[in-house]
Structure 1
Amino acid sequence: MMLVDTAAVQSVFPPSREDRKRPSDPAAFLTAANGSPILSYGTRLLSISILGRRYTWNFIVTDMRTPLLGADFLAHFGLAFDVGRKRLLDTDSCQSFTVATCPSTPAICSVAPHQYGQLLKEFPDVFKPELRQVPRAPAKHGIYHHIKMKGPQRT
């Protein structure tokens, strides 16, 4: 089983016992959504089959339990994920594959903590599922996004 994680920038694969014996790879620095570092052990070239088509990809070997297909894999192979219908779509062939959902799996991203870490610490409620905003209802977390616009400019 592999998870499609639309929030994961990198596709990852769990380490073997042999991988865990080696020191982690500081060049493949990954961070969990909560800002904690994820140990990595290099890369592994794997071939997987989706919709009867074989895909070969270099996965980052990380200290995760479940393999993840991230945005790098999806973009490279022209795959899209339809969240509403829970389908993986092949944009070349227009084939789709229904997938199961797993909401309790942690997301990872390859953003260094110093880039957005302070912002995440300042507004932690934004990432709490129980505070998600319902359309046309006031935000439960009290954070609002605004886009300031001006009318047409005359030259």
Structure 2
Amino acid sequence: MSVFFTPPILHLYAANGTKIPVYSRRKVLINLGLRRSFDWTFYVGEVSQAIIGADLLAHFNLLVDVKGRRLIDPLTSISSPAQPASCDSTHLTVIQKDHQFATLLRSFLTLTQPYSAELPIKHHVTHLIETTGPPVHAKARRLAPERYRQAKAEFESLMRQGIIRPSSSN
């Protein structure tokens, strides 16, 4: 007499705490563009796109370079370009809906959304500055100490957000 034992399937949960139905497991050999293949067991669930989890990354010692938008394999010193998944909602959320701060965060959604330089334009004015001849330049002048601190703080904030970057041009 043979008995087949099927281990229970893992339960998956979204960041907002809702349960994601899982239907099966599938062992897949994947190619991430790192000159070696990865054999991994994935759970098939009700999601719109495949998700590579931290468990796979840790198991194969793969690194994610978010700023460089690439996946790095330290074993082969090869990187592969990656595109972050787009999603409809990019706001901060708490895991438990009944958390003491959940209502407070929901009432100030603009504070919990990441800054985006792609804000909607609220006017219909376009500017055009015609230039002719060589660039005009003036000698750099010092700012008052308080204005200097404010300007420096603003530039550092813009650099941290990736809006500007250091330059050594004239």
TM-score of the aligned structures, taking structure 1 as reference length? 0.54
Equivalent position SS for 1:60: strand
**Using the alignment, how far apart are the partners of 1:26 and 1:121 within structure 2?**
34
In the alignment, which of 2, 6, 13 is matched to residue 31 of structure 1?
Answer: 13
**Using the alignment, how far apart are the partners of 1:60 and 1:81 within structure 2?**
21
User: Which residue in 2 is equivalent to 1:15?
Assistant: none
Unpaired runs of at least 5, structure 2: 1-6, 117-153, 159-170
What percentage of aligned pairs have identical amino acids? 28
Higher RCO (C-alpha 8 Å, min separation 6)? 1
In the alignment, which of 113, 117, 122 is matched to residue 96 of structure 2?
Answer: 117
AA of the residue aligned to 1:30: L
Structure number with greater Rg is 2
AA of the residue aligned to 2:96: G
TM-score of the aligned structures, taking structure 2 as reference length? 0.50
Given that residues 48 and 54 in structure 1 are in contact (C-alpha distance below 8 angstroms), is that contact kept between their aligned partners in structure 2?
yes
The equivalences for 1:17-28 within 5 A come to 27-28=9-10
**Using the alignment, how far apart are the partners of 2:8 and 2:89 within structure 1?**
21
User: Which residue in 2 is equivalent to 1:78?
Assistant: 61
**Using the alignment, how far apart are the partners of 1:119 and 1:80 within structure 2?**
35
- Name the Cα RMSD after superposition: 3.6
Unpaired runs of at least 5, structure 1: 1-24, 108-112, 138-155
Matched, 1:45 2:27: yes
**Using the alignment, how far apart are the partners of 2:37 and 2:85 within structure 1?**
24
Equivalent position SS for 1:74: helix
Number of corresponding residues: 105
